[in-house]
Amino acid sequence: MPIRLKKLIGMFLLVALVIIYALVASIFAVARLSESGPLVQFLFFLFSGLLWVLPAMGIIKWLMLEPRVKR
């Protein structure tokens, strides 16, 4: 796969990941945490704010892989 195409796909994947993850985390927070105390809310937003990094690291790792050499 050409490197430019790979970077384009990776960019769209990262943007989609951030948008979808933010929407899901926000919907969950509004639905479940409205009655919770400040400590529970803080812990949720701390955890959910760091959790998106794991799939993003996978995408970035895929982007950094060297292309296969054709023989």
> Can you give the pLDDT at residue 22?
94
User: Rounded CA gap, 55 and 59, in Å?
Assistant: 6
CA distances from 46 to 42, 61, 65 (A): 6, 24, 30
Which pLDDT score is estimated for 25? Answer: 93
Q: What is the mean pLDDT of each run of 10 residues along the chain (71 residues)?
A: 89 96 93 89 93 94 82 71
